[in-house]
Amino acid sequence: MARKSDSTGPLNRYVDALVRGEQALAHTVIANARKQGIGADRIYLEVLAPSQDRIGELWHEGALNVAQEHLATSITMSVMDTLREEMQPRRLLGMRAVVTPVEGDEHVLGARMVADFLSMDGWEVDFLGKGTPAKDLVEFVRQRDVDIVALSCTLPEFLPNAREATAALGKLNLAPKVLLGGLAVYPEELDVQSLGGDAFGRDARHAVDQARSLVGLERPRLSLTDHLAAMGRKINSIRTTLKMTQQDLAEASGLDRTYISMVERGRQNLTMGAVVKIADALNVPVAELVSTEDR
C-alpha cells in the first residue's frame, strides 16, 4: 500500500537512519523535522508509517534481515514515545477509548498511532499493547465506561478474531461502538459490516474523524485564536531554524519588527498580503504557514 508522503526529505533521511540501525540519528532527523514546523501528526503519517512500509519492502527483498527489521520497529516505537511526551491534547472530550490489536496480532505500531491520535484529540485512551483475547477485552470494557473500542487487524487470518471480539462486545449492556482498521481491513476487499464493526478508519487521522462521528461529536474546529497561535508558532520555528532574527524577517518581508513579534505570539490577525510576504521571506509555500493539521 502506498501511503501519502509530502515529507520526502525527512522520510528518506529517517529510513536511512533505520537501515543503519542508528537510533540517535533517527531521533535527530525527527527533532529537525519538528523544528521545521512539521507537526507530530504529519510525522506519524508521512514519515513513520511510510518508513515502516519501506522497512517491510527491504526485508521482503532480503536487503534487511529480521534483526534489522526488529531494530527499525523498536527505534520507531522509541521515537513515538518521545513525540507522545510533547503532545498537548486539544482539550479533554470526556470520552474514553480502548485500542488494541485483535487476538494473535503482533503488529502494534498502527494501533499505537491510532491511540496517540485519539489522545491528541482529547480522548482518554487505554492502549492494550499486543492482541487481546475477546473475553478479556470484554471484561476490561465492562469494568470501565468505554465509548469506543478501536480494533486493529493486520493479518487476514486474524479477521475471525475481530469478528469474535465485535460479537462479544455487542452483547454488553452498554455496548461501546467498535471502530475497525489495519492492513487486513479494507472496505474495497471486505464487507466491514460482516465483521460486526460500526465504522472503518483508513489511517490514524481518519480514525479520529470516525470515532467522533460514532459518538456524535463534530469534527474538531479551531477558533481564530487557535489558528493565529498555530501560525505564530510555525513562523517562529521556521525563522529560528533559518537562524534569522525577527529584524531579519522584518526586513526580508518589508514588515515592521513589532508586527512580526505580535504575529509570532499569535496576537496579530494577519492580512493575506502579510502572510504572502512572510511566506516569501521564509521561502516556504503559503499553505505551510496556514495549515491547521500541525500541532
Residues of this chain that interact with ligand B12 (CB under 6 A) are 45, 49, 52-53, 55-56, 60, 73, 104-111, 113-114, 150-152, 154-156, 179-184, 201, 203-204, 207
CA distance linking residue 243 with residue 252, whole number of Å: 13
Nearest C-alpha neighbor of 1 from the set 45, 66, 67, 62: 45
Q: Which is nearer to ligand B12, 133 or 261 (CB)?
A: 133
**Which single residue is written with the C-alpha cell 522584518?**
250
Instruction: Give the Cα-Cα-Cα angle 208, 171, 159 (nearest 5 degrees).
Output: 60
Supply the minimum distance, in Å, between the C-beta of residue 69 and ligand B12.
6
Supply the minimum distance, in Å, between the C-beta of residue 193 and ligand B12.
15
Supply the minimum distance, in Å, between the C-beta of residue 267 and ligand B12.
35
Q: Which is nearer to ligand B12, 15 or 45 (CB)?
A: 45
Neighbours of 247 (CB within 10 A): 10
Strand, helix or coil for residue 54: helix
Strand, helix or coil for residue 174: coil
Supply the minimum distance, in Å, between the C-beta of residue 133 and ligand B12.
14
Supply the minimum distance, in Å, between the C-beta of residue 16 and ligand B12.
17
Q: Give all strands of the β-sheet with 124-127 in edge-to-edge order.
A: 124-127, 96-101, 148-152, 177-181, 199-201
Q: Which is nearer to ligand B12, 29 or 281 (CB)?
A: 29
CA distance linking residue 118 with residue 98, whole number of Å: 10
Supply the minimum distance, in Å, between the C-beta of residue 65 and ligand B12.
12
Q: Which is nearer to ligand B12, 108 or 125 (CB)?
A: 108
When CB distances to ligand B12 are compared, the closest residue is 181
CA distance linking residue 137 with residue 129, whole number of Å: 12
Q: Which is nearer to ligand B12, 213 or 237 (CB)?
A: 213
